[in-house]
Amino acid sequence: MTATGDFPAPGPQDREPPRDRYAAPHPAAGPIAGPQTPMLAWHKPGIVPLRPLQLGDILDGAVKAIRFNPKSMVGLSVIVLAVFLVPSASIGIGATHLVTRALSGLGTGAEAFLGYPSLFLQSVFTAFATAILSGLLVYVVGEAVLGRKPDIATTWRATRSRVLSLLALMALSGLFTLLAMVLLIGPGVLLLINNNTGTGAILLFLGLLGFMVVAVAFSTKISLAAPAIVLEGHHALAGLRRSFVLTKGAFWRILGITLLAGLLAGIAGTVLGLPFSAAGTAIAVTSGHGSESALMIETFVSHLSALLTGAITTPFVAAVTGLLYIDRRMRTEALDVVLIRASQSNPPL
């Protein structure tokens, strides 16, 4: 088993010629040298069949990945989210207290801004947790494809060296998003500030449309970077390049499946979060909407909701991304041949 979980990156860094790993076997030799019966027996050693995947395979495989190894998929999600959201809740409660004191003399109109600091902190901490967690869970999904169940300790040992690259990937994508926002939305905002309302509004509207298109296109093109970083051992820039290569010719398919997975995860998150929303509303009514104590309790409830719902929805989205990555490599680099060989030579216990 390789350090990257039996998903070696193609190219000059391989110890054996790339053709042996990824090129389809010569027709005269058959699909794989050796007896054919074992290959058929291991055609589906794990959560998905070892062939190019359809939409149903990917969605079903994502659910099966969670059910196949819930301790690592859900357990790791709870741990990573807790590491980030517990400090976020503590800082958010403190920030709420400070902001409440600072805005207490500004009247009731300032109450609308009291919850913004904690909400912003929660968003930032959740983004960091999700960036790391999505990469770590891809390793578990990759192993589940081969029918293996790595525990949390094994997963951490195999992926901890990739955490900095995952954070670098998040930083690079964030910088690009900020730059696009400044270039596309900034001119319209500047015109509005300078009282050029008509032209500013039109330019802002066009800028927002352009930013949405650029953001969706860019996020789709880099969607497979995290799996490439974790499973192939790339650094952030190389992972971005690999993602651009793997998404070539499949942009709309990847975008559609990603949006569908996000929609399903959003619906599940909303349903799971309903009890917490109801509790937050009841607290606000009982304690007085906008009061410092109510806002502190709402901050805690919001973080708790994000922790528990994220422990279910994040593994599903990460599994879909991981399976999309595996599917693209099976379609373009004959990864299914490599996986069948791996499942034959080192079957799951």
Q: Mean pLDDT score of the chain, rounded to an integer?
A: 83
Q: How far is CA 117 from CA 87, 163, 304, in A?
A: 14, 27, 17
Q: Is the pLDDT of residue 140 over 80?
A: yes
Mean of the pLDDT values across residues 183-199? 89
| pLDDT > 70 fraction of the chain, expressed in percent and rounded | 81
Q: What is the pLDDT of residues 50-100, one digit of tens each?
A: 999 999 999 999 999 999 999 999 999 999 999 999 998 888 888 777 777
| Sequence-distant (≥ 6) Cβ neighbours of residue 334 within 8 angstroms | 22, 23, 24
Closest C-alpha among 163, 156, 161 to residue 129: 163
pLDDT of residue 267: 94
pLDDT in tens, 225-267: 999 999 999 999 999 999 999 999 999 999 999 999 999 999 9
- Among residues 60, 37, 56, which one has the least CA distance to residue 47? 60
Query: Does the pLDDT value for residue 152 go beyond 90?
Result: yes
Rounded CA-CA distance 251/75 in Å is 32
If we measure between CA atoms, which residue out of 263, 267, 169, 280 comes closest to residue 225?
169
One-letter amino acid identity for 186? Answer: G
Q: Could you please report the per-residue DSSP string of 265-291?
A: HHHHHHHHHHHHHHHHHHHHHHH-TT-
How many CA atoms lie less than 13 Å away from 3 in the CB half-sphere?
Answer: 11
What pLDDT shows up at residue 276? 81
Query: Does the pLDDT value for residue 349 go beyond 80?
Result: no
pLDDT, one tens digit per residue, over 23-45 is 334 434 344 444 443 444 447 88
Percent of the chain with pLDDT over 90: 54
| Contact predicate 28/36, CB 8 Å | no
**Dihedral pair phi/psi, residue 12, rounded to 5°:** -60, -20
What band does 114 get if pLDDT is binned at 50, 70 and 90?
Answer: low
Output the CA–CA distances (angstroms, integers) from residue 41 to 37, 52, 69, 304, 347, in the order listed. Answer: 6, 17, 22, 44, 11
Q: What is the pLDDT at residue 301? A: 85
**266-288 pLDDT tens trace:** 999 999 888 887 877 777 677 65
Residue 77's pLDDT is what? 94
The amino acid sitting at 314 is: T
- Which range (105-109, 134-138, 157-161) has the least confidence? 105-109
Q: What is the mean pLDDT of residues 107-121?
A: 66
Q: Give the pLDDT of residue 59.
A: 95
pTM: 0.82
How many Å apart are CA 223 and CA 132, to the nearest integer? 14
Higher pLDDT among residues 219 and 3, named by residue: 219
pLDDT at 294: 74
Measuring CA to CA, how many Å separate 173 from each of 124, 166, 212, 245? Answer: 14, 11, 15, 17
Per-residue pLDDT averaged across 188-198, rounded?
A: 88
Q: Residue 115: its pLDDT value, please? A: 65
Question: Which residue, 6, 9, 4, is CA-closest to 161?
Answer: 4
